[in-house]
Amino acid sequence: MSNRKRALQADADAVRDDLLIAAGGLTLDAASAEVDALEISSIDAEIRDLGERQTEMQSNREKQVLALNAAEQQLQGMQGGDATALAEGRRQEAIAAMAIAAERYIKLRIAGRLLAWSVNKFREERQDPLLRLAGERFATLTHGSFAKLAIDYEDEAPVIKGQRSDGNLVGVEGMSDGSRDQLYLALRLAAIELSLVQARELPFIADDLFINFDENRVAGGFKALRSLAENTQVIYLTHHRHVVDVARQVYGEAVNVIEL
C-alpha cells in the first residue's frame, strides 16, 4: 500500500507542477480562483469562434496562394511574350537585311557579268586579224571540233587556246597530237594568207601535213588549203593513196594529181 500511495503522490505532484506552469507564475489557489470566476459556456463559444476564424484564415490563405500562382504564371507569360516579340522583331530585321544583301549581290553579279561580256566583246571586235583567221582555219581543220581560237587572259600571261562550240577553252596541253598539229597549221596558213596581201606570191609546198589526221580531218585540211589556193599555188606532196582520194573528193576536177 505504501508503494501505491507514493506513486499516487508522485502523480499528484506532477499534476500540480503542470498546473503551476500553466498558471504563468500564479499560485495554485489564485489560479483556481480565476478558473472558478470563468463561465464555461463562454469558453466553449470562444473556442468555436477561434476554430471558425482559423478555418476562414486557412481558406483565405489557400485563395491567396492560388492568386499568387496565377499572377506568377501571368508574369511569366508576359515575359515570354516580350521575348517572343523581341525575337520576332529581330527575325524580321534579319530578313530585311538579307533581302537588301541579296538585292545588292544580284546587282553586282549582273554588273560583273555585263562587264565581263563587254570586255570579251571588245576583245573579239579588236581581235588580231591573224588570230581571227587562224581560228577560222582551225575550225575547218578540226572538222568543227573547235569553233575558233581565243586568248585566255585568266593565266599569268595571255595564252592562245582552242574554244569549243559550248564556250569551253582547251589549252595546247589538253589537245590531242592531231589537234596540236592542226593548231600550228592553222596559224601558219593564216600568217601566209595575210602575208600574200603585201608580199610576192610564192608557191606553198606541203609535205604530208596531214600525217596525223583522220580521214575527216584530212578533208578539213584540204578545205583549209582551198582559201590559200585562191591566192597562190599549193603543192601537196604525199605517198599515201587515201590522201589523194580525199583531195579528189574535196576539189573534184580542179585538183591536178601528178604521180612520180
The predicted pLDDT at position 121 comes to 61
Q: Which residue has the higher pLDDT, 167 or 117?
A: 167
**Could you give the angle at the alpha carbon of 152 between the alpha carbons of 159 and 125, nearest 5°?**
110
The predicted pLDDT at position 146 comes to 92
What digits encode the pLDDT tens for the residues 140-195? 888 888 998 888 777 667 788 899 988 888 988 898 888 888 888 888 888 888 88
The region that residue 180 occupies, defined by phi over 0 for left and psi between -120 and 50 for alpha, beta otherwise, is alpha
The predicted pLDDT at position 90 comes to 74
What digits encode the pLDDT tens for the residues 196-238? 877 677 788 888 888 778 778 888 888 888 888 888 888 989 8
Task: Measure the CA–CA gap between 5 and 24, rounded to whole angstroms.
Answer: 29
Q: What does the pLDDT average to over 56-82?
A: 66
What digits encode the pLDDT tens for the residues 21-65? 555 555 656 666 665 555 555 555 666 666 677 677 777 667 766
Between the CA atoms of 114, 117, 123 and 124, what dihedral angle is there, to the nearest 10 degrees? -140
